[in-house]
Structure 1
């Protein structure tokens, strides 16, 4: 038996030899701040990424929902919700990094997560590096405020992207693959723009909070100290008006169920979308969809966390199974444990190991994403803090759009009368209060921060043990 030190040395050399390409690419990308494409991205139009500090401070682009429309407002089909933005705004959000080459599989539309830049989050994933080789044109849509603003607005961008890209797809339809919040945005678009349902072959959601997430409420109580949670985070609370309108209300052909062939992929190791359980109480569970946990497909030891799931080869395998067959993913066709598929299993395991390393090399990107999700735009955060410390109130969930109430999904009191422009109170200047800031800090520390951490532990602990019954009763009162 080799000495322990020798074993560690051999293991280190094996890792370096096995992943030398990924390590070199990762170091180059860190040194050149993301400007050098990896070898797997050859031929992909490279979008230059900001360096780490720029991404932290200026990583969330501003978007004025009430500005003069950039171009004509697109017309809606009968029965669809109205669009509110100019056509050019929707078009600019769509990117096809390799162009549309009329590949046989048609267009796959990628929808990113909360606080995510699509180019940044999808660049190293098998969705971008492998789907084109499998015969699919890949495009993505970037959400306003990187998905930190009103999710109803994000739904508009998804609805327009589906309709626009379907006209350019070789199949006349698109497949939609949505990560995290992107899945909820896609479901909203399919619910309130029913005309796009016939243009979607498959919807595949990855770690999406279809029923909201228990993570938001304790997190928002902590963030109340610095001005509260951002808009989309408030809307992802299980008891939000947003979720109550579409994902909980029993309306025929409503958003609480799959309205197109749908696959929901999730992981029991998810630390952000909670709870993740293998029944209808799971946050990612969608009635009528093919709901698949990665550990069900690859064994109980296959545990991936929220950021890593989009890089995982098993996730890609399930996505490819759905897209290549034109129907929701099936465990039967993905059963890699059968003898004829042993080689494929070994290949998937090897690629998953490599993607785990890539996930580690992208840690700065994940830190930026998490920071943006918590803080948003620094100047806007300072305005929010002013409101808190001058007792002007914490931000609340925005009202629903008029079309939601008109369709009977919510009472009229939950809806706005003038759309997104009703929520411009954050533009109001606030004078600095002369109250004793240290006294205020003590109050917030004792009444908000400390109780929040204790409640967080209780809620997350309970969420991990949920196996039956409604999970909403676990929320802090």
Structure 2
């Protein structure tokens, strides 16, 4: 550590030189108008899960940048690990099909607060997308994992543009589960409170439509006794809904009361997932061969490995609480916490003219901006990307401009920048404008 290096040593001189170089580079970047965006500028809510924990939760097989087929992120269900959910089923199958496959392990086997688990999923999508170097990736989840796949695209605005397909297997969506609600009357795990029918979290989430971009597919079974009632519980507005009975009427698991759990190995569900991944658009049941109905599980499923993991899954200790965890600010329409809900505008450049200032905005979250100067304000609807806004300013003198943002899904304005535009007519970057 630097505090242990004596003055005059080679290590100390290197440390001093490095510090000086860093300072010089920072000064040059500021002078060139290339200063980094302000703290908390990432789109959507800031992470609360430590970075080391987020990184440790992600594991990948294959290279997302070079894999033959679309990279896939798999999100496991409640009360299991990624290995228990996917290790005997989709991981080896998708690898054989040429996909790079990444999995996430959610905290407490996803029995805890889903809002915390969602951060792990959002981080995984961003991390795998970066590794894919511009390629779109796909997101597949089962049960609560499906919930997370449809949750994160509505909370973190940059994720939808990174995704090709979002697919849920026996998932829980905005309607929640009536069966879970009934089971929670005497207490249950925090996650179950949150995905139960009528939970406050689901009511608030349902106000946010799925963003355009990915193809959305929900695959369910009428025989599901965990996510009920079916088929209503398998419906998510904006997604294509398919029940495996649409392909094979009357289909049920050969093992009673396991239809929900065994969807991870079901041959028809698998065919629908693979159909969505292979073709543009969501899954289409008409492309699934009728012969698939003869198979209880798809080829390559490690039945022995899955069976050996069942005792651990069924006997795992489950924490219980009496009520639903508090809904975080980023889901409440009245949230005014800039760090919790995220900024609309990532950065601003200003050009000052004789009668107007031109603001060049880099927008990271769809919504609206309100620009105020001299007691007057104008509202502009903005989408992700770069946009230009003209602001009338008093001729000659300096102007104070307040920039407020309101992302889609929120009701209140929050001040994101306060700018003092000087008299100069040349380009002035954010680094040269006082902010508060």
TM-score by length of 1: 0.57
**Matched residue SS, 1:271:** coil
CA distance in 1, matches of 2:131, 2:83: 21
How far off its partner does 1:189 sit? 0.9
| Structure-to-structure mapping, 1:47-446, within 5 angstroms | 79-98=43-62, 100=64, 102-125=66-89, 127-169=90-132, 172-210=135-173, 211-221=175-185, 224=186, 228-247=187-206, 249=207, 251=208, 254-255=209-210, 260-277=214-231, 282-297=232-247, 299-304=248-253, 305-334=259-288, 336-337=289-290, 345=291, 349-350=294-295, 352=297, 362-363=306-307, 365-372=309-316, 375-376=317-318, 395-405=322-332, 408=333
Deviations 1:32-90 (A, max 9, x none): xxxxxxxxxxxxxxxxxxxxxxxxxxxxxxxxxxxxxxxxxx97665412111222211
Instruction: Give the secondary-structure state (helix, strand or coil) at the position aligned to 2:261.
Output: coil
CA RMSD of aligned residues (A): 2.9
Structure 1, unmatched stretches of 5+, are: 1-73, 338-344, 385-393, 420-477
- Following superposition, the deviation at residue 355 of structure 1 comes to 7.5
Question: In 2 relative to 1, CA 262–164 (structure 1 residues): closer, same or farther, beyond 3 Å?
Answer: same
Partners of 2:153 and 2:106 in 1: CA distance:
16
Query: Does the 8 Å contact 2:178/2:227 carry over to 1?
Result: yes
Name the CA distance, whole Å, in 2 between partners of 1:115 and 1:198. 30
User: Aligned equivalents of 2:183 and 2:226: distance in 1?
Assistant: 10
User: Quick one: structure 1 residues 84 and 107, their matched pair in 2 at CA, closer, same or farther if it must change by over 3 Å?
Assistant: same
Question: Which residue matches 1:48?
Answer: none
- How many equivalent residue pairs? 297
Compare CA radii of gyration and give the structure with the larger one. 2
Q: 2 CA distance for matches of 1:259 and 1:306?
A: 29
Quick one: distance in 1 between partners of 2:260 and 2:50? 34
* Maintained 8 Å contact 2:172/2:234: yes
Task: Tell me how far apart the structure 2 counterparts of residues 308 and 185 of structure 1 sit (CA, whole Å).
Answer: 19
Partner secondary structure for residue 297 of structure 2? helix
Deviation at 1:120, TM superposition (A): 1.7
The TM-score normalised by the length of structure 2 is 0.62
Go from structure 1 to structure 2 and tell me whether the alpha carbon gap of 1:168 and 1:321 turns closer, same or farther (over 3 Å shift).
Answer: same
Partner deviation per Cα, 1:325-382 (whole Å, 9 max, x = no partner): 1321112323x24xxxxxxx26x734738779x558734533432443xx42xxxx5x
**Within 2, Cα distance between the matches of 1:111 and 1:174?**
13
- Does the residue aligned with 2:184 lie in a helix, a strand or coil? helix
> Tell me, which stretches of 5 or more residues in structure 2 are unaligned?
1-37, 254-258, 341-436
Q: Cα distance, 1:311 vs. partner? A: 0.3
> What is the CA-CA distance between 1:163 and the residue it aligns to?
0.7
Q: Judging changes above 3 Å, is the alpha-carbon distance between structure 1 residues 138 and 259 closer, same or farther for their aligned structure 2 residues?
A: same
Task: Give how far 1:112 is off.
Answer: 0.2
Cα deviation, residue 283, structure 1: 1.0
Matched position secondary structure for 1:272: coil
